[in-house]
Copies of this chain bind each other. A is one copy, B any other.
Amino acid sequence: MAKSKGRVTLPSESNFLSQTKELLERWGADAIRDSDGTKLSDDVKELDAKIYTTYFVARGHNDFAQKHMDECQQAFLMSSYTLATEATVKIEFLKDYFDQQVKADYDHDPKLWWEVYDRTENQLISTDAWYVDQCTDTVIVENCKPFHEYTVSFLAYLIWDPTQMYNHITNDWGDKPHEIPFDVRKQASREYVKDYLKQWLKDNPNTDVVRFTTFFYHFTLIFNNLAKEKFVDWCGYGASVSTEAILAFEEEYGYRLKAEDFVKNGYYNSTFCVPSKQYLDYIDFQQRFVKDRAKELVDLVHEAGKEAMMFLGDNWIGTEPYGKYFPQIGLDAVVGSVGDGATLRLISDIPGVKVHEGRFLPYFFPDTFYEGNDPTLEGIRNWLNARRAIMRKPVDRIGYGGYLSLAYKFPKFVDYIEKVCDEFRTIYDTIQGVTPYCGLKVAILNSWGALRSWHPYMVAHGLYCKQIYSYNGMLESLSGASVDVQFISFSDIMEHGIPSDIDVIINAGDAETAFSGGSVWDDSKLVSMVREWIYNGGGFVGIGEPAAYEKGGHFFQLADALGVDKELGFTLHTDKYFKDVVKSHFITEDIVDEFDFGEGMKNIYALSENTEIIVQSKDEVNLAAHSYGKGRCVYIAGLPYSQQNTRLLMRSMYYAANKEADFKKWYADNLFCEVHVYPSINKYAILNNTNEYQKTKVYDGEGNSVELTLEPGEISWKEISHE
């Protein structure tokens, strides 16, 4: 059998020709890329492979930028809280910021653009009551109320691209120049980026694919006075601000955005805040602008006969691929980092581009590839997690990044990736374009909806967070599950109703966050719409503090449907009798291990004897189910990712949807295995999601079951036999 080839991107570097050729062959790669810190030498560029070249639009052009420092990118930043102990307070508003990244914008009149707030009253202070001392970067507020805290929100220039800054500081690059980010909303920059690209395209005939890394505005990443990260928001629009943008916005929308609209008393429109109308308007406004400007560049690439690829990250603000305007940019491809199943789906589900490429882990850097460590282990973990998701919706290509020379020193790793590349191509060739069997259609309901598909709870891409993992597990479970997943927002259903084909709605998050919904649940139209939908047969799964908004005697506004609520103290006087745990339940039938609800949720109690308490600990309900009319709800205190919790969620959804009978149609009774089915091609696959042998009984869609043993990580393909 001829070795399969293609759909794999190899990183390379200078003076590594023969090994590059060898790995190109063994991994069947058909594209070669440069990476941060590596350049491709000409001999590599002439190999039989497409050449990807990283391209920076709005940084890395300091000759231009230094001549146009008034076109630097900007942000509204808030000073630290400063206590007034007397009638005058001096706020050293730059004190906590990194002076190599941030400087005050004195080009625009602070009295017009800046804001001083009394944060104890949360009231704006009149511009008459304060002035700026530019020599000391200080705002002096007069006639203060003693023992109130004051802040200044100031307009800053951002004079160092955050990604380069991060790499520069982390890798100790010394006096290497700081790349200055400039703003294409300003005239000279706008012309410059086009002119430069035109010339660059001419100068780089060997490049087949321009890998934009990325376009114009970096996600929010601000450092502190100790040159360490101060705050970060992978979806934050904070660094896309300019006076020009605000004036253009005012022109279009008829109202002026204020510093506070961006700063939000230090919350900076965190993805966890229920988004304000102003912020949603601004996002839409910037997405349209970015789309137009990016399209100009993509068109130039196409005119030069090359392809345009976007890296999903860094300066990606305004190009979020699930935004309304993204397809209009006309990109050929998106590439992003794959840490797990959810981040794979974040890439593979992107609409409007032909090629979805996942850059897999581990990155070929010395933090993993060092003597005594086995990078294969991370490779296996990464592949097995991502593979589940690939079975649902494959990326079109996989690839790696970093120093190929490092990876080359680990033959076991090279062998494993060779196997991965072959396995990927087999899967892709089998199922690309084929709709997999989905037992249920599931909607994840939050404030962001589709815009944050597969990454709602994200603060910093791929990083663990104590307040997130108990919700993120739900996404990760779904990323490789045999269900059709849709992300919908509260305003989607308020405007258009709940889509008729949805079987199960999931609402998961902490109270008052954008994910639970906070004050949206004050709207009785929303509450009654969801109740009615469940009552008429819908399934609802609430995780953490679903629909939480204290009103009318309930904390969970869907308490009557969920059958549980959270005790805040106000009904401690009311006896809680309902503590009997059911002897067994459909939802927990496959459980093999201790339950793990992650951070869990305190003080959840059952409202009546009609609530099926499935798991309870410390006098708190952890898992419960409740019928409501023809519908059903399931409450889960938290759901960190694990194979067991994936099974628990699947069963919760089938139970909520009143479709238990369908659950075993295609099913492996061993929860470490999963079955993926492709009816239109008469095939199904049984996956061993672990790196150990697994024995499982498998149901074949016709009610028959067979027992089989899978090798570590095995994927076993079968024909569907119709009787």
Query: Contact residues of A with B, CB < 8 Å?
Result: 81, 83, 85, 117-122, 145-149, 151, 220, 224, 228-233, 236, 265-268, 270-273, 459-460, 465-468, 510, 512-513, 524, 527-529, 531-532, 535, 550-554, 557, 560, 567-575, 577, 599, 602-603, 618-619, 629
When distances are taken between beta carbons in the complex, the residues of chain B under 8 Å from A529 are: 147
When distances are taken between beta carbons in the complex, the residues of chain B under 8 Å from A271 are: 573
Q: Do B528 and A145 have beta carbons less than 8 Å apart? A: yes
Q: Do A268 and B577 have beta carbons less than 8 Å apart? A: no
Please classify the interface of chain A as helix (H, G, I), strand (E, B), loop, or mixed, using the class held by over half of its residues. Answer: loop
Q: Do B120 and A552 have beta carbons less than 8 Å apart? A: yes
- Which of B148, B266, B528 is the one whose CB lies under 8 Å from A574? B266
When distances are taken between beta carbons in the complex, the residues of chain B under 8 Å from A602 are: 599, 602
- Which of B117, B272, B553, B569 is the one whose CB lies under 8 Å from A272? B569
Q: Do B147 and A85 have beta carbons less than 8 Å apart? A: no
Whole-angstrom distance between the Cβ of A668 and the nearest chain B Cβ = 35
Whole-angstrom distance between the Cβ of A586 and the nearest chain B Cβ = 25
Shortest Cβ distance from A119 into B: residue: B552
- Which of B121, B149, B560, B570 is the one whose CB lies under 8 Å from A83? B560
Q: Do B569 and A532 have beta carbons less than 8 Å apart? A: no
Whole-angstrom distance between the Cβ of A571 and the nearest chain B Cβ = 6
Q: Do A147 and B572 have beta carbons less than 8 Å apart? A: no
**Given contact pairs A120-B527, A552-B149, A535 touches B85 in the complex (Cβ within 8 A):** yes
Shortest Cβ distance from A265 into B: residue: B553
- Which of B117, B119, B270 is the one whose CB lies under 8 Å from A573? B270
A562 to B231 Cα, complex, angstroms: 22
Q: Do B603 and A467 have beta carbons less than 8 Å apart? A: yes
- Which of B119, B230, B272, B571 is the one whose CB lies under 8 Å from A575? B230
Q: Do A272 and B572 have beta carbons less than 8 Å apart? A: yes
A149 to B535 Cα, complex, angstroms: 13
Whole-angstrom distance between the Cβ of A80 and the nearest chain B Cβ = 9
A309 to B417 Cα, complex, angstroms: 87
Shortest Cβ distance from A532 into B: residue: B147
* A-B residue pairs in contact (CB < 8 Å), sample of 24: A81-B553, A81-B560, A83-B531, A83-B535, A85-B629, A117-B552, A120-B527, A120-B557, A122-B551, A147-B532, A147-B535, A149-B560, A228-B577, A230-B575, A231-B571, A231-B573, A231-B574, A265-B552, A265-B553, A266-B571, A270-B570, A270-B573, A467-B567, A513-B570
When distances are taken between beta carbons in the complex, the residues of chain B under 8 Å from A265 are: 552-553
A271-B573, A272-B572, A465-B572 known; 8 other A-B pairs, CB under 8 Å?
A81-B553, A81-B560, A85-B535, A119-B553, A146-B532, A228-B575, A268-B573, A272-B569
